[in-house]
Structure 1
Amino acid sequence: MNDLFIDVDYAQIYKDGQKIGGDVFLLSRNPENNQIVCTLSDGLGSGVKANVLASLTARMAHKLSFSPMDLTHSARIIMNTLPVCKERKISYATFTIADLRMVGNDQVAMNLVEYDNPSALVFQGERSVQWDVEHIDLQRDGAFKKEVLGHSVLNLPIGSRLVIFSDGVTQAGMGKSLPLGWRLDGVREFTHAQIEANPDISSHELAQAIVCRAHSLDRLSAKDDITCMVVYVRRPRRTLVVTGPPFTKEHDEQLVQKIRDFEGKKIVSGGTTAQIVSRLLQKPLKVDMSCWSPQVPPCSMMEGIDLVTEGMLTLSKVATALEQKKPVRSMANDAVKKFVQVMQDSDQVHFIVGTKINEAHQDPSIPVEIGIRRNLIGRLRKALEDVYLKETSQEYI
C-alpha cells in the first residue's frame, strides 16, 4: 500500500424548495496509475433541468479526464459540445476538473481546469497558497461575454488541501447578512480559521463546515445549490481486521505477532479469534454492554485492541451497511455501528483471515446470508473500494 493518501469528500445542500441538486460532483479512482479525478459542475438554473445539464457536463469531463488526451483539450471539447443558452447568452454549465496523481511518497501532482466556477483555494497547512494560472480564451458563437478557461499545474505536498466550490458558497448571504455575499476572501478566511483550530480536520468535516456556514449566511434558506469539495493530502490512517483462527494452532503466535507489529487501529472479529489473542497477549476480555442491540452480540473490550466483536453475523451486517452506504447516525448503537465508523475513518484496511473451519458455521439453521468468512471479506473489500474509495489488502493464515 502507498504511504500517501488523497482524502476526498464533499458536502451539498440543495436550493431551498428543490429535491434535486443543480450541482453535480463526481469522483473516480484509477488504481493502475494512482490517479484520482474530481469533477464539480454547476448547471444553469436549478432543479431537474440544471441537474441534467450538470450531469452531462460532469460525466463528459470525467470520461475525457481518464483518456490520454490533454486536459485542456478535453475541456475545449466539452465547451464546444455544450451549447450557449439562447436567452441568457451564457454556457449551460460551468465546471472544475482536478486530475490528481501521486508523485513518490511525499506529494501529489495536480492538473486543474476551471471554467466559470469560483476560483479554487489551496492551503499548505493553514497557509493559503497563490499560484500561476494560464488563461485560455475561448471563442464560441452566441456567447454574451468573453469566455476564459483557467489551467493550472502544481504539486501538493503532504499537509496540503484543495478546496473547490460552486457559486452557491461565494454568493451565500447576498442581500441578507452580507450585501455582496460571502465572496472568495470570506471563504478563504473561514477555511484558514477551521484548519488553524483543527490542523487534522478531515475533508469530510471541512467540506461540511464550509457548506453549513454558507447555509447559515443564507439564513437556512439556500438561494442556490451549495456544494463544496475538499482534497486533503496526508499520511494514511491504517486499520487491521483479524477474523477467524489460524489453520493450525502452531500459527497462533504468528497471528498475534502480526497484531503486535501493526501500526494503526486494530479490530478482532470472532469469539475464538478473540480468545486466542487474549490468551497470548495476556489481556482479559470484558463484555461492553454500553453498545448493544437485539440484532448482534455486544462488543468486548481488550487492552491494546480498538474493537472486539462477534464474527460472522457482525461481519455480514457490516458488509450490508457499507454496501448500502447507511448513515452512521441512523444506526443502532451496537458493534456494527462501531465497526462501520472505524472503516469510514480509515484509509487503508488490511484483513488477516484465518482458514480454520469452524464447525458451528456448517449448521444449516444459520441464515444463508451469513455465508462463509472469505466471501464476507470479499464483500467488505469491494464495498470499501467501490463505495468509499478505500485501499484494502488481505492475507490468509
Structure 2
Amino acid sequence: MEYFIDTVALSVNKHGEELCGDQIEIADTKDGKILVLSDGLGSGVKANILATLTSKIAVTMLKENATLEDTIETIMKTLPLCSVRKLSYSTFSIVKASKDGTVNIFEFDNPSYFYLDNGALCEVPKIRREIHGKIVFESSLKMKLGDQLILVSDGVIHAGVGKLLNFGWQWKDVSAFIEDTMRTSGTTSLSHEIMSYTNILYDCMPGDDASVAALTYKEKKTLHLFTGPPKNPTDDKFLAEAFMEARGIKVISGGTTAKIIADKTGNELRVKLDDLRKDLPPTAVMEGADLITEGILTMSRVVDLLKGYRDGKKSTEILQELFEDHGASELSKLILNEASEVVIWLGTAVNPAHQSEGFVFNYQKKVEIVHELKMVLLEMGKEVLLYTI
C-alpha cells in the first residue's frame, strides 16, 4: 500500500537575529520524500550558511542516490571553516521515507527523534557508525497509517534555560509533553503545540534557533473545492454533475455556487444560523457536501491561515484560530488533516455584487486568491489540480 507522506516544518530565529541558524529541507523523490534538519554552529549568518549548505548538499546528493558515506564526506569537505572556532560544523538529521512506509534515519549530533507508533511514543534500536571520523546513528522503521516522526533542533531541548527552567526543556520533558498532548489533541497539531510551548518557555525571546520537523503517514484522499459559478450559465448542469461524480471530500465555497448545485441536484440548502460571526459569513449545510462556506472572504482567510501554519512564530496564534468554529478554520483543517490532493473547480463568471464601487474585492482579486491558494498548497506538498469553468 502506498501512503501520502505529509510534512510540517517550523522554525524560529534566535532573538535579535534576522537569519535562522537551523534549516529544514524537504524534497520529493520518485518513491517518497527526503527530510533534512540541520543546525549550523552558533547563530546568525554563519550558522545559516553552514546549515543551508548541509541541508542542500544532503538533499541533492541523496536524491541522486549517493551513499550516506559520500554525502557526509562531501558535507564535511564543503563547509567553510569558522574563523573564530576553527571548525566547520553543522549537526543534521536525515530522513529518507518511502511511500510504502520504509523509513531510514541518520543522525549526527542532533537531539534524538520522537517516533509515534499508533499514537504511542516508542524507542527504536539504533546502530552507531563512524563515518569519516564522525559518529552517526542509523535506524530504520516500517511506518504505517497515522504514524508520525518528529525531529527537533537543540533550540527546543534548551528552551527555558536560565529563565523558566534551570536546565532547559530536556528530551525527557519534551517526550512527556508529547504524550500529554497526544491524550488531549492528537497528532493533528502536535508540531505546532511543541513550537508554541517552546516560544512560551523562551518568553517569546528565543535564546537559540529552534526548529520542529514532522513526517506523518496518511491515507491518500482528494478534496474537491467548488468555488464560483460557471461563466456560461449553460454549464451549471456540468458543475452539478462534477459535484455529484466527485469522490472524496466535497467543499463548496460561495453562496451562488451552492445555490446552483442545490437547484440542479434537488438538495435542500440551509444556512447555519448558529454560526453567525462579525468577521466571517456563516456556513451552510446540504446533503452531499462536507462543508459549505461563503466565498471570497473565507477563501482569503484560509490562505492567511495556511501561510501562518508554516510560520513557527505564529504557532500559538494559528492553533487558537484552528480550534475556533468558522468556515475558514473548518476548511483549513480539512486541507491540513485530510487532503493529500486538492482539486479546485473555479467558476469564471463575474459576480455583479463584487464590482460595485467601494467593494474591496472584485473578480480579478478572487482569481488571485485562488491561485495564491494553489501555490500555498503546492508548497505544503499537496497535489493540486485547477479546472476553470
Give the TM bin, normalised by the shorter chain. 0.7 to 0.9
Q: Aligned pair 1:391/2:389, yes or no?
A: no
The 1:392–1:318 alpha-carbon spacing in structure 2 relative to 1, beyond 3 Å, is farther
Q: Distance in 1 between matches of 2:281 and 2:185?
A: 33
Q: Does structure 2 retain, via aligned residues, the 8 Å contact 1:271–1:309? A: no
* Contact kept in structure 1, 2:72 and 2:131, CA below 8 Å: no
Give 1:206 deviation, angstroms: 1.4
* Contact in 1 for aligned 2:21/2:41 (Cα 8 Å): yes
Q: If the length of structure 2 is used for normalisation, what is the TM-score?
A: 0.76
Q: Is the 8 A contact 2:40 2:47 kept in 1?
A: yes
Which residue matches 2:343? Answer: 351
Please give the residue correspondences for 1:118-137 in structure 2 after superposition, counting only pairs within 5 Å: 118-137=111-130
Matches within 5 A, 1:57-136: 57-83=54-80, 85=82, 87-88=84-85, 90-103=87-100, 108-136=101-129
Measure the CA separation in 2 of the matches of 1:359 and 1:223.
51
Contact 2:150 2:213 in 1 (8 A): yes
Q: What residue ranges of structure 2 are gaps of 5+ in the alignment?
A: none
Contact 1:125-1:195 within 8 A present in 2 as well = no
Say if 2:279 is the partner of 1:290: no
| Amino acid in the other structure paired with 2:137 | G
SS at match of 1:157: coil
Letter of the 1:388 counterpart: M
Question: What is the correspondence of 1:1-397 to structure 2 with a 5 Å cutoff?
Answer: 4-30=3-29, 33-83=30-80, 85=82, 87-88=84-85, 90-103=87-100, 108-139=101-132, 147-199=134-186, 201-202=187-188, 205-236=189-220, 238-243=222-227, 244-245=229-230, 248=235, 251=238, 254-258=241-245, 262-269=247-254, 271-272=256-257, 274-278=259-263, 280-286=265-271, 290-291=276-277, 298=281, 301-304=284-287, 305=289, 306-310=291-295, 321=303, 325=307, 342-351=334-343, 353=345, 358=349, 370=363, 380-385=373-378, 387-393=379-385
Cα distance change, pair 377–247 in 1 and its aligned pair in 2 (3 A): farther
What residue number does 1:143 align with? none
Segment of structure 1 superposing worse, 38-47 or 3-12: 3-12
Amino acid at match of 1:183: Q
Indicate if the aligned counterparts of 2:341 and 2:383 stay in contact, CA closer than 8 A. Answer: yes
CA separation of 1:196/1:339 partners in 2, compared to 1, >3 Å: closer, same or farther?
Answer: closer
Q: CA deviation at 1:164?
A: 0.7
Q: CA deviation at 1:78?
A: 0.9
For the 8 Å contact 1:292–1:299, the answer to whether it is kept is no
Following superposition, the deviation at residue 165 of structure 1 comes to 0.9
Whole-Å separation in 1 of the counterparts to 2:27 and 2:156? 24
CA contact (8 A) 1:75 1:113 kept: no
Deviation string 1:251-304 (CA, Å, 9 cap, x unpaired) is 466345326xx44352244615533324524313438783566xxx94552334
CA drift of 1:318 comes to: 7.3
2:272 touches 2:285 (CA, 8 Å); kept in 1? no
Cα distance between partner residues in 2 of 1:360 and 1:109: 49
Give the 3 Å change call, closer, same or farther, for CA 267–48 of structure 1 in structure 2.
same
Identity %: 22
- Aligned partners of 1:291 and 1:335 also within 8 Å: no
Alpha-carbon distance in 2 for matches of 1:97, 1:15: 23
Distance 1:71 1:322, change over 3 A: farther
Closer, same or farther: CA 344–253 of 1 in aligned 2, 3 Å: closer
Aligned CA distance change for structure 1 residues 14 and 381 (closer, same or farther; 3 Å): closer
Compute the displacement of 1:85 (Å): 4.3
User: Given residue 26 of structure 2, which amino acid in structure 1 is its aligned partner?
Assistant: L
> Is the radius of gyration larger for structure 1 or structure 2?
1
SS at match of 2:377: helix
Return closer, same or farther for 1:83/1:134 CA change in 2, 3 Å cut-off.
Answer: farther
- Which stretch of the first structure deviates more once superposed, 42-51 or 11-20? 11-20
SS state at 1:389 partner: coil
Secondary structure of the equivalent of 2:241?
helix
- Output one character per residue of 1:5-34: Cα deviation in whole Å (capped at 9) or x when no partner: 22211333322333332111222324xx24
* Matched residue count: 369
> Which amino acid is the alignment partner of residue 259 of structure 2?
A
- Counterpart contact for 2:305–2:332, Cα < 8 Å: no
CA gap 1:220/1:278 in 2 versus in 1, 3 angstroms: same
Give the CA deviation at 1:375: 9.2
Distance 1:391 1:8 in 2: 13
